[in-house]
Amino acid sequence: MATHDIATGLGTLHVQVTGSGDPILLLPSLLTDHTLYTAQVAHFAGRYTTIAVDPPGQGGSEPLHRTFTFEESARAYVDVLDALGLPWAHLVGNSWGAMIGGTISATFPDRVGCAVLLNGTASEGPRWDRLQLALAARMTRLAGRPLFVRSTVVPRFLGATTRRQRPELVDGLVTMIRRNDARSASFAVESIVVRRPDQHALFARIAVPTLVVAGREDASFPVPEVRRMAEAIPGAQVVVLDEIGHLAAYEAPETVNALIDGFLDRHRGQ
């Protein structure tokens, strides 16, 4: 494994590169870091080069000091590929990573092999959610620490089955979230949730093979919303996972790894 700190338009991003073979760029969810994909790195690094990134302002990446656009977020990940000398990569993104994975696929098509978009959306956030989270982001900046992680964030991120049966995943998620710089994370929340654009028209330009995965218990992006995103992407394949919430890669790694394996194998060489 090699660790890199790569300069991008959204600050220095912390990147871990493992394995050899065709590259897979792993894009985490809001409030998480590269460890969201621990199981994917362990599974794929024997046959692929896995590139696990701490998103802008999260984990070991440089803290954010402002909000940003989806285009800036996409460009930051392309900066990572440039710095590593990679002309292209397969993309696997969960939540924020799925949204930006779609943005990259539409705007930088030559840089993407296949795209696997887990628990994503192409819709604006509901107005009430935007108002609530705008207030929460500002309160977090004032308080200097994350607020209501277990009572508010965990139920939006993990499905009811996971919360009931896998307490170690709940604790792991809470630890991951609390590793973030609270002020920096608040700028990410404001950028990705409060200011999120509708991307359906943009996603209609995606021409790379795309797999879309939804969680039946996803409280953030319900199945109909994820399906609507998939319908905007020409030729996208859709899979719905039962008893899974918003973090499919984390909650059901064996199932997700098998889906990714099969999808990449089917499109190898295209």
DSSP, residue by residue, 34-46: GGGGHHHHHHHTT
pLDDT, one tens digit per residue, over 98-128 is 999 999 999 999 999 999 999 999 998 766 6
Domain count, the chain: 1
Average pLDDT value for residue range 73-98: 99
pLDDT, one tens digit per residue, over 122-148 is 998 766 665 565 556 565 655 565 544
The residue type at 145: R
* pTM exceeding the 0.75 threshold for the entire prediction: yes
The whole domain housing 15 covers 2-266
State both tokens at 188.
Answer: 């990410």
- pLDDT at residue 222, as a whole number: 96
Taking all residues of the chain, what is their mean pLDDT, rounded to a whole number? 93
The CA distance from 257 to 253, in Å, is 6
Q: Which of these, 147, 184, 182, 157, lies nearest to 56 by C-alpha position?
A: 184
Q: Answer for the pair 180, 146: CB distance below 8 angstroms, yes or no.
A: yes
Q: Which of these, 48, 53, 38, 50, lies nearest to 1 by C-alpha position?
A: 50
CATH number at residue 254: 3.40.50.1820
Please, what is the angle between helix 70-83 and helix 96-107, to 10°? 80
- pLDDT at residue 126, as a whole number: 66
Average pLDDT value for residue range 17-43: 98
